[in-house]
Structure 1
């Protein structure tokens, strides 16, 4: 009996104002454990969870197996097709957006290498990809306040019907409507002041040297933490405006002292500077942690390098995608790179589960338990299982074990 293996991957098409009624479907076929490499016949249907109802079929068949097959080229086990593309021979029906009004839609596939169709199992459940097809058909009244982005409603979007010149939108405690503002006392902000409603406040940077008398600002006039960079105009407070010892550490607000106010030349061995340090001593001055906590370096706010301390003082070293990982309790492991946060729509992970295991790069490579000292140089889908000190140089879908 022939055994068929189906590996599948869905990828969403670009969604625009007019969403194409297509789903890009990619898969892999093996026959008897060998990648199929020829033209194959396929039938496709979108069914319910029980498989008893056809929401869509490639030739419009209402239930069960479609009558017409779709001829597709299969290269080294891999094939792809746009489901619903009526320009493809045998694909006579487009996918309607109403298909994804159903909460559970699954893809059923039949395959024939010329000796008769076999149904592939299991049916593949469709998650977010197909549901993008309904984005172009929003029902009237379906846009609620929760669906509006912040600041999405601009003045141009407001309907001025019923308003007269000079009226403003106001809330009366029950509803929002147009109203004429009441007249009253007029306020004006003077130098260094800001007026909001009938409340005055000091403008950021509003206190200038001309507003301060000589020696008028002493320690008792400054609240703890009150003086920040935004409260003082550039050059406003000079030595003549400050009493002796008026500014203590308690008077400085958080982040009010910038790099320009520091003597960085004498801090060469106390902190690491972006422009480099001098006068350091290897082993005494270092970049890292002094407790049992991992150290990470990031690029674009994503982890690119991680050093993990271990109980054996044999740290684990991980480079490449943040999805790469070393199992808990493993020591001396190295992943030199590879992996991906998203590649062809999927996360790709390199994984080490044995002490002193090493993966040079590539994607979806794994060194499983019982494989101490094993190494995979790179490639894709390579796996070492119970293979102590085994080596796979690279390539695709290779396996090693003892």
Structure 2
């Protein structure tokens, strides 16, 4: 995990952004490819895996429970995983250190819940503030015993039950992590485990579980809710997975190119799963010149290269129904809104208050500090844009150990009169190793 010494950096742009670049592998798919490969019988091969700290935390935890996970020497992006089979996870000898990764924590809690093992989860200061109750509730119904710290937080001890109890669980809030935790617990649970999802969230778990051979069905009820059913005691078959570029990471260079005058860039090999790519639709609605070329399907996931040109954006009311499919992209969308013509209203974002930081409050505070006009709501922000004029900038932003806050204000620095300094870019390694170098390669200045 990243060390305690902060790594401040200042961002500015002397001219337009130009060039072609890739982004790291999709974080959601990377986590799931490791977990399902670890439960398959035989050897799986994964290319393009994100090697950020969050995914490495998942790999370390799975190794601690018996999976053989090797990164091939000389081929940076090829990993080989020998799985233990569903039900074959072993008792870890030490606490599982999740670092900053909420996804690792919640999904692995699901995996372990239906195994007869006990695991203690620990994490860094940021992760230890994040409540886990929304996962604890359904896993407890399945028979797992969970002893969290006060407030449902880490450190947390989970004692799994085998055989676990199949449940039918209706998600009280839209959360791909809770859905995935229950489905992963259902893998080793006899009978049918069902998750009812009133609002669709990212569906990587469903696609990948089917790809590995699990018996999984998705239906819709009369109200339009998705009913996802998985038959337990599955036998997963090893796979060869090619991980596409992460659309959440692509969001940062895409927004930067839209905002910096004269820019034109291409971001290659980006996953465009419809449950993840709503940001690009919203930016196009605002007037963004974004096009997709070389569209194709890789491993059941739609993929394309994204061509972006500088555009004058217009403020909009962001559609509440897209929140689940772009929740992680709102911080950088707020930066885009701060440069747009007119007012942007974004609501229905309560979920942002329990991310790595309170992203509503932290973005409002930071945007005001660099000259944006922002009103904070309980569930979102109202932003009156500059119409394309640069922000004042010049401030040092406290990113609160939150990688997406840090990268969002790095983008803001590119469209500010004075450089914007982020107090610590260290946490960016959790999801986007090489971010500074990528931005510099496109023409940004990082000091």
TM-score greater than 0.5 by the shorter chain: no
- TM-score, length basis structure 1: 0.25
Structure of higher RCO (CA pairs closer than 8 Å, 6+ residues apart)? 2
- TM-score, length basis structure 2: 0.23
- The structure with the largest alpha-carbon Rg is 1
More helix by share: 2
